[in-house]
Amino acid sequence: MKPIILIGYMGAGKTTLGRHLAQELHRDFIDLDWWIENRFCMKIPDIFARKGEDGFREIERRMLHEVAEFEDIVLSCGGGTPCFFDNIDYMNRVADTVYLCATPDVLQAHLAMGKSVRPLIQGKTPDELHTFIVDSLQARSPFYEKAQHILHINVIHTKEQIAAYVQQIIAELKINN
């Protein structure tokens, strides 16, 4: 079966929903950032520091092409992945792509709940973070909106909400599981 690739801004729920979607469909789950970190034995911020953004984006592109060739997977991509090179066009050719679309307020709420340190937003006040998200979304939305499917996401607090979104993705992709 074709891969399912989840795209969207950081904090949209790609990893959370991706992991549960993969479990529901009996597929393997891969987070592209984790894949890169394992392959290069380095954290993403360290790769950025050593190679710069251009170097990281080239690595990300190569790893996307490697992983997207796998069958029966759900792949969660970094927020910037679809926005560089021909990545979104490539993803649309080889996989079913789903954009997890969320408002800046929802994204900010999810990022506040998150446990991971995100270098791009570290040290920002709530107002600075909101402005950063709005500006970034404006630049990235044209790429995200090229996805084959768009699912609008609200703040996710419960396992029931996660399960409901997973069922919406399955229905949208017309998968019989």
Q: How far is CA 111 from the centre of its chain?
A: 13
Residue closest to 6 by CA, chosen among 78, 60, 63: 78
121: Cβ contacts below 8 Å, ≥ 6 apart: 10, 111, 129, 132
- Say what the pLDDT of residue 113 is: 79
In order of 32, 89, 99, the CA distances from 142 in angstroms are 21, 12, 11
Average pLDDT over residues 6-32: 97
Which CATH number does the domain 4-167 belong to among 2.60.120.1440, 3.40.50.300, 3.40.50.720, 3.30.70.2860? 3.40.50.300
**pLDDT at 45 (0 to 100):** 87
Q: How far apart are CA 65 and CA 53, in angstroms?
A: 18
Average pLDDT over residues 65-74: 96
Q: What is the pTM of this model?
A: 0.95
Q: Please report, for residues 8, 34, 170, the alpha-carbon distance to residue 173 in angstroms, rounded to integers and kept in the order given.
A: 17, 25, 5
Q: Are 43 and 112 in contact (CB under 8 A)?
A: no
pLDDT by residue (tens digit) across 82-130?
A: 999 999 999 999 999 999 999 999 999 988 877 566 667 778 888 999 9
Greatest Cα pair distance, the chain, in angstroms, is 45
Mean pLDDT, the chain, whole residue set? 94
φ, ψ of residue 72 to 5 degrees: the values are 55, 45
- What's the confidence (pLDDT) of residue 75? 98
Domain boundaries, the chain: 4-167
How many residues make up the chain in this entry? 177
- The tens digit of pLDDT for each residue in 117-163 reads 666 777 888 899 999 999 999 999 999 999 999 999 999 989 999 99
